[in-house]
């Protein structure tokens, strides 16, 4: 069995980790492919202390090597061990049966939602703030919300509690009462695995709120949560820097990846039905 993760990929670089059940992967050659074209090759030769601490092999499981791929095709790069057929996909990519797959929104569904939202705003059924939030999230798959505001009384700067703001926005998306649950991730691999799990849960809300301790950057292929959008899977990434002063609301079905500063951790807040 092969486990691993592509934690970062750009037009000229790819990095991550890989582990095999026999434990003998050190110095193996990895081949990067975009479609049927090999776009780079490198060795498994980087020590990863986080993997060693987690008991995954001896820790010599990391890779980082140059590739050459068009910027608009970065999202389709996969990896194979030389001489093998098993494929390592990027973080938010997964293979599922038609019955289990969690499809994204359709373009028609987005149009219908936006039309209903405009009607609700016109007739006072939704606030301007919720209108702006939902319009942006449904259209792009990501929405930034600052946590700093000025107090109306004395103009002092107030920092809203991220958990409170996250709960309010997730309820606005769900259109009903929800309770929240969260998990903390500390590596790009944990981030990708958590989002893939949330996106694949049948009947669950696919939207999460992210806030960070430290600094991180979430890269989102805007619009890629819309299943039948033309060119969505080739959409370039947009960077959303995260600090302790803002939230990012993200549709887990969108293609995304994360770069995390040293010592950073990210809280992923999700909505669950209120009991």
Say if residue 18 is in the same domain as residue 62.
yes
Q: How many domains does the chain have?
A: 2
Domain membership flag for residue 264? yes
Say if residue 62 is in the same domain as residue 140.
no
pLDDT for the residue 85: 64
Q: Which of 36, 53, 88 is the last residue of a domain?
A: 88
Expressed as residue numbers, the domain containing 19 is: 2-88
pLDDT for the residue 210: 97
CATH number at residue 51: 2.60.40
Say if residue 156 is in the same domain as residue 237.
yes
- Count Cβ neighbours within 10 Å for each residue of 91-116 and write b for 16 or more, e otherwise: bbbeeeeeeeebebbeeeebeeeeee
Q: Which of 88, 117, 147 is the last residue of a domain?
A: 88
Say if residue 70 is in the same domain as residue 139.
no
Residue whose C-alpha is closest to residue 7's, from 51, 70, 37, 38:
51
Q: Are 273 and 178 in contact (CB under 8 A)?
A: yes
Q: Which of 27, 56, 88 is the last residue of a domain?
A: 88
Say if residue 132 is in the same domain as residue 228.
yes
Say if residue 135 is in the same domain as residue 230.
yes
What is the torsion angle, in degrees rounded to the nearest 10, for the CA atoms of residue 172, residue 176, residue 178 and residue 184?
Answer: -30
pLDDT for the residue 168: 94
Q: Are 229 and 110 in contact (CB under 8 A)?
A: no
pLDDT for the residue 100: 34
Domain membership flag for residue 100? no
CATH number at residue 235: 2.60.120
| Half-sphere CA count of 158, side-chain side, radius 13 A | 9
Dig out the tokens for 248 from the structure: 């990012």
Domain membership flag for residue 101? no
Say if residue 250 is in the same domain as residue 198.
yes
pLDDT for the residue 143: 97
Say if residue 120 is in the same domain as residue 78.
no
Burial-class residue 222 by CB neighbours within 10 Å (0-12, 13-18, 19+).
buried
Say if residue 263 is in the same domain as residue 172.
yes
pLDDT for the residue 235: 66
Domain membership flag for residue 156? yes
Q: pLDDT (tens digit, 0 to 9) for every residue of the chain, 275 residues total?
A: 677 888 888 888 999 889 887 778 888 999 998 877 889 999 999 998 888 888 888 888 999 999 998 887 787 788 888 877 667 877 544 433 333 334 577 888 888 889 999 999 999 989 999 999 999 999 999 999 999 988 777 778 888 999 999 999 999 998 888 899 999 998 888 888 888 888 877 778 899 999 999 999 999 999 988 876 554 455 688 999 999 899 999 999 998 889 988 899 999 999 987 76
Say if residue 81 is in the same domain as residue 47.
yes
Say if residue 62 is in the same domain as residue 118.
no
Q: Are 159 and 172 in contact (CB under 8 A)?
A: no
Q: Say if pTM beats, i.e. exceeds, 0.75.
A: no
Domain membership flag for residue 102? no
pLDDT for the residue 103: 54
Q: Which whole-number Å values give the CA distances from 98 to 53, 95, 184, 232, in the listed order?
A: 37, 10, 30, 20
């Amino acid at each position: 069995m092969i486990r691993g993760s592509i934690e970062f990929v750009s037009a000229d670089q790819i990095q991550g980790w890989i582990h095999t059940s026999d434990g003998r992967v050190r110095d193996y050659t990895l081949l990067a492919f975009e479609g049927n074209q090999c776009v780079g090759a490198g060795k498994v030769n980087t020590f990863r202390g986080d993997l060693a601490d987690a008991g995954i092999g001896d820790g010599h499981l990391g890779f980082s090597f140059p590739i050459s791929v068009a910027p608009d095709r970065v999202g389709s790069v996969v990896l194979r061990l030389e001489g093998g057929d098993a494929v390592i996909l990027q973080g938010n990519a997964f293979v599922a049966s038609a019955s289990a797959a969690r499809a994204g929104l359709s373009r028609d569904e987005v149009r219908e939602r936006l039309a209903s939202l405009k009607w609700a705003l016109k007739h006072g059924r939704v606030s301007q703030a919720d209108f702006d939030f939902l319009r942006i999230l449904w259209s792009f798959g990501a929405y930034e919300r600052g946590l700093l505001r000025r107090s109306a009384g004395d103009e002092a700067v107030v920092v809203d509690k991220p958990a409170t703001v996250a709960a309010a926005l997730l309820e606005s998306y769900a259109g009903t009462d929800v309770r929240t649950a969260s998990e903390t991730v500390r590596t790009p691999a944990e981030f990708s695995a958590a989002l893939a799990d949330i996106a694949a849960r049948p009947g669950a809300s696919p939207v999460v709120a992210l806030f960070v301790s430290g600094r991180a950057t979430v890269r989102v292929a805007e619009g890629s949560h819309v299943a039948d959008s033309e060119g969505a899977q080739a959409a370039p990434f947009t960077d959303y820097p995260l600090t302790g002063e803002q939230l990012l609301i993200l549709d887990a079905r969108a293609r995304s990846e994360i770069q995390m500063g040293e010592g950073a951790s990210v809280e992923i807040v999700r909505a669950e039905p209120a009991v």
